[in-house]
C-alpha cells in the first residue's frame, strides 16, 4: 500500500476519532455543568417575555452570528427551553437571517477587508472557483461540511459569484441537519437534568438512542458532503495548478486539519476532566451568579405581644383535608373544593399588617406563601410541575395580597421574609409544590408555636434521604440544594453548612467533632409536582 494512502487513512481515522472524542467530552461537560441552573435562569428570563421570548432568542442568534460569536450555547438553550420543534425553528430563523446579514455586509459594506483576509487562503480560492461553476450546490456541500467555520463562511460567500437568494435558501436547507443535532442535544440534556430527578432505564435508553441516531445521520451526511466537496475542489485545483505540487499541498492541508482536530479533541478531554473534578465549585459559582439574591438577614420587626392575632384555622382545615403524610397534596380534590382556601386567602389579605408582631408576621408570610402556591397550582391544574406554568404567571406574578400588600411569591420570600427575619429554617417551611421541596405540613404555622414548628420541620427534612444523607463513619455528606442556593442565609447563623446541618444529625456532629471534614454533594432536586400520584418513599 502506498505511503500516501496509508497516511491518508491514518488522518481519516484520527479525524473521526477526534470528532467522537469531542462529542463524548461535550456530553460529559454538559452533563456535569449546572446546565439546569443556566437553563432555568434563561428559561425564567425568556419565559417572562411571553411570546417575545422566541423573538429575543432569534435576535440574540442574529447578533452572535454577525459578530463571530459561536451560537452553540444558544442552540443548546433553544432545545432545552422550547423543545425540538420550536427550538429548531427559532435557531433556523436566527442562523439564516444572521448568515444573510453577514453575506450582505461582506458584499456591500466590508468587502475590501474580508477580501484581504481571504486573499492568501488557497483553499478559499479553489472554493471560489468551484462556486463559480457549481453555484448553490457547492454552497450546500460546504454548509454540510466542516471545511470552513460557519461564521467565516457567511462572510466569504459575499466575495463569491453566488447570488443572494440562492445562497440564503441553500444555506437554510443545508444548515438544518446540524441545527437539529444541536437542538436535540440541548433538548436531551435539558430533559435529562432540567427536572433533576432520577430517570428510568427506559427513559435514558430512549434519550441515548435518539441522540446517537441523530449524531450518526448528521455525521454520515457530513462525511458524504466532505467527500463530494473535496472532489469538486480537488478537480478545480488540478485544473489550475501542477498536480504533484497540489497533491503535496492537499496532503499538508489534510495533515494540518488532522492535527488541529486532534488538538481540539485533547483540549476537550482535558476540559471535561477539569469540569468533572471541579463540578462542585463551578456549580456554586454559577448558582451565586444566577441563583436567589443574597441578603443580609436582620430582625427588623418588634415582638408586639399585645398586637392583633390572625386566625389560621381555615388553612389548618385545608391542609388536614388535602395533604397526606409526607407532604403529598391531593390537588384534584382541592381544585374541586377551593372554598376554604379562597376564604383563607381573604383572611390573609385583610390582616392588619402594620400592627402585627414579629411572630405573627412571619407566620402570616409563611402561610400566605404556601396557601398562594396551592392556589397557583389549582388555578393551572393539571400540570406536571410548577415550572410548567408560564413564568409570567408563576413566581414573579405580582398578584398575592398579604395584609393589604400586593406581592409576588418571589417578593414574599426574597424581600419580605429573608431580609427581615434572621431565620434560615424558613427554607424548610416554604414549599414550592415540588417533590424536591420540603414536605408541606398538615397544619398551618401559628405564632404561639412557631419556633417549635420550624424546629420540627427542620428535623423532618434532616431525617429523610430526599434532603439529607450522611453515613456514620463516612465523610460524604449529601444535602438538599436549598443549602447551596441559600448558603449565605445559613452561614449567617452557623460556622459552615455542615455545622448547621450537624445540629440535626448526631452522626454528622460526631464526624465534625472528630475533625472529619465532610465532602458535600448536592442531592437531585426533583421539580415534579408534589401530588399524590407522584408519592414515593422520602
Please indicate, yes or no, if residue 8 is contained in any of the structural domains: no
Please indicate, yes or no, if residue 17 is contained in any of the structural domains: no
Distances (CA, A) of 150 to 47, 129, 146, 282, 422: 29, 19, 8, 30, 53
Q: Which residues pair with 522 in a beta bridge?
A: 479
Q: How confident is the model at residue 225 (pLDDT cuts 50, 70, 90)?
A: very low
Co-location of 86 and 155 in the same domain: yes
Co-location of 72 and 127 in the same domain: yes
Alpha-carbon gap, residue 278 to 260, rounded angstroms: 27
Asked if 299 and 422 touch (Cβ cutoff 8 Å), the reply is: yes
Average pLDDT over all residues of the chain: 79
Domain that holds residue 169: 33-240
Q: DSSP per residue over 221-233, as a string? A: HHHHHHHHHHHHH
Instruction: Lowest mean pLDDT of 154-163, 373-382, 469-478, name the range.
Output: 154-163
Please indicate, yes or no, if residue 450 is contained in any of the structural domains: no
Burial class of residue 334, CB neighbours in 10 A (0-12, 13-18, 19+): buried
Please indicate, yes or no, if residue 336 is contained in any of the structural domains: yes
343-367 residue pLDDT tens: 999 999 999 999 999 999 999 999 9
Please indicate, yes or no, if residue 20 is contained in any of the structural domains: no
Co-location of 112 and 235 in the same domain: yes
pLDDT for res 18? 80
Check whether 240 has a pLDDT greater than 60.
no
pLDDT for res 333? 95
How do strand 405-407 and strand 519-522 relate by DSSP bridges? unpaired
Please indicate, yes or no, if residue 436 is contained in any of the structural domains: yes
Distance from the Cα of residue 114 to its chain's centroid: 36
Q: How confident is the model at residue 187 (pLDDT cuts 50, 70, 90)?
A: confident
Q: How confident is the model at residue 39 (pLDDT cuts 50, 70, 90)?
A: low
Co-location of 236 and 323 in the same domain: no
Other beta carbons within 10 Å of 242: 11
73-121 residue pLDDT tens: 788 778 877 778 888 899 999 989 988 898 888 777 765 655 565 555 5
Q: How many domains does the chain have?
A: 3
Domain-terminating residue out of 411, 445, 479: 445
Co-location of 113 and 200 in the same domain: yes
Asked if 412 and 402 touch (Cβ cutoff 8 Å), the reply is: yes
Q: Which residues pair with 328 in a beta bridge?
A: 324
**Range among 236-250, 255-269, 314-328, 517-531 rated most confident:** 314-328
Contacts for 100 with CB less than 8 Å, ≥ 6 apart: 164, 167, 168, 171
Domain-terminating residue out of 210, 240, 270: 240
Please indicate, yes or no, if residue 263 is contained in any of the structural domains: no
Q: List phi, psi (to 5°) of 323.
A: -115, 130
Co-location of 151 and 88 in the same domain: yes
Q: Which residues pair with 407 in a beta bridge?
A: 400
Please name the residue that has the C-alpha cell 494540518: 256
Co-location of 508 and 409 in the same domain: no
Co-location of 227 and 326 in the same domain: no
How do strand 400-402 and strand 405-407 relate by DSSP bridges? antiparallel
Model's pTM, two decimal places? 0.62
Distances (CA, A) of 331 to 199, 259, 316, 515: 24, 59, 16, 46
Co-location of 371 and 471 in the same domain: no
Co-location of 215 and 358 in the same domain: no
Please indicate, yes or no, if residue 59 is contained in any of the structural domains: yes
Co-location of 194 and 74 in the same domain: yes
Alpha-carbon gap, residue 3 to 21, rounded angstroms: 27
Co-location of 384 and 439 in the same domain: yes
Pick 345 or 391 by higher pLDDT.
345
pLDDT for res 215? 55
Amino acid at each position: 500500500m502506498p505511503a500516501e494512502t496509508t497516511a491518508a487513512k491514518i488522518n481519516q481515522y484520527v479525524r473521526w476519532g477526534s470528532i467522537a472524542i469531542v462529542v463524548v467530552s461535550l456530553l460529559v461537560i454538559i452533563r456535569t455543568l449546572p446546565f439546569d441552573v443556566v437553563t432555568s435562569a434563561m428559561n425564567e428570563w425568556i419565559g417572562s417575555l411571553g411570546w417575545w421570548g422566541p423573538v429575543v432568542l432569534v435576535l440574540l442568534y442574529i447578533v452572535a452570528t454577525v459578530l463571530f460569536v459561536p451560537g452553540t450555547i444558544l442552540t443548546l438553550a433553544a432545545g432545552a427551553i422550547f423543545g425540538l420543534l420550536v427550538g429548531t425553528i427559532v435557531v433556523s430563523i436566527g442562523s439564516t437571517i444572521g448568515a444573510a446579514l453577514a453575506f450582505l455586509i461582506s458584499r456591500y459594506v466590508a468587502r475590501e477587508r474580508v477580501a484581504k483576509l481571504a486573499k492568501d487562503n488557497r483553499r478559499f480560492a479553489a472554493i471560489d472557483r468551484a462556486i463559480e461553476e457549481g453555484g448553490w450546490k457547492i454552497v450546500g456541500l460546504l454548509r454540510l461540511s466542516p471545511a470552513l467555520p460557519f461564521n467565516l463562511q457567511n462572510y466569504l460567500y459575499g466575495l463569491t459569484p453566488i447570488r443572494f437568494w440562492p445562497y440564503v435558501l441553500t444555506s437554510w436547507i443545508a444548515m438544518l441537519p446540524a441545527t437539529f443535532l444541536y437542538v436535540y442535544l440541548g433538548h436531551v440534556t435539558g430533559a435529562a437534568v432540567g427536572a433533576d430527578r432520577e430517570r428510568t432505564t427506559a427513559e435514558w435508553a430512549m434519550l441515548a438512542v435518539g441522540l446517537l441516531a441523530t449524531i450518526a445521520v448528521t455525521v454520515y451526511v457530513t462525511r458524504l458532503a466532505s467527500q463530494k466537496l473535496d472532489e469538486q475542489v480537488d478537480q478545480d485545483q488540478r485544473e489550475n495548478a501542477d498536480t504533484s505540487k497540489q497533491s503535496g499541498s492537499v496532503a499538508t492541508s489534510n495533515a494540518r486539519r488532522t492535527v488541529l482536530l486532534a488538538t481540539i479533541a485533547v483540549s476537550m478531554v482535558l476540559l471535561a476532566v477539569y469540569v468533572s473534578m471541579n463540578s462542585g465549585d463551578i456549580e456554586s459559582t454559577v448558582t451565586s451568579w444566577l441563583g436567589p439574591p443574597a441578603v443580609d438577614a436582620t430582625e427588623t420587626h418588634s415582638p408586639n405581644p399585645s398586637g392583633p392575632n390572625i386566625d389560621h384555622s381555615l388553612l389548618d382545615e385545608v391542609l388536614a383535608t388535602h395533604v397526606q403524610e409526607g407532604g403529598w397534596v391531593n390537588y384534584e380534590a382541592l381544585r374541586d373544593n377551593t372554598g376554604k382556601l379562597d376564604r383563607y386567602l381573604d383572611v390573609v389579605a385583610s390582616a392588619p399588617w402594620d400592627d402585627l408582631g414579629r411572630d405573627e408576621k412571619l407566620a402570616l408570610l409563611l402561610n400566605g406563601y404556601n396557601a398562594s402556591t396551592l392556589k397557583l397550582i389549582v388555578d393551572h391544574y393539571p400540570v406536571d410541575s410548577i415550572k410548567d406554568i408560564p413564568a409570567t404567571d408563576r413566581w414573579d406574578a405580582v398578584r398575592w395580597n398579604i395584609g393589604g400588600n400586593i406581592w409576588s411569591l418571589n417578593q414574599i420570600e426574597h424581600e419580605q421574609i429573608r431580609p427581615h427575619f434572621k431565620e434560615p429554617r424558613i427554607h424548610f417551611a416554604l414549599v414550592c409544590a415540588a417533590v424536591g421541596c420540603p414536605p408541606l405540613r398538615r397544619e398551618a404555622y401559628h405564632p404561639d408555636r412557631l419556633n417549635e414548628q420550624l424546629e420540627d420541620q427542620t428535623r423532618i427534612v434532616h431525617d429523610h434521604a430526599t434532603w439529607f444523607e450522611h453515613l456514620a463513619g463516612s465523610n460524604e455528606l449529601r444535602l438538599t440544594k436549598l443549602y447551596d442556593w441559600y448558603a449565605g442565609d445559613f452561614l449567617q447563623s452557623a460556622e459552615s453548612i455542615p455545622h448547621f446541618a450537624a445540629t440535626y444529625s448526631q452522626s454528622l456532629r460526631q464526624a465534625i467533632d472528630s475533625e472529619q471534614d465532610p465532602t458535600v454533594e448536592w442531592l437531585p432536586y426533583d421539580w415534579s409536582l408534589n401530588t399524590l400520584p407522584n408519592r414515593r418513599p422520602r
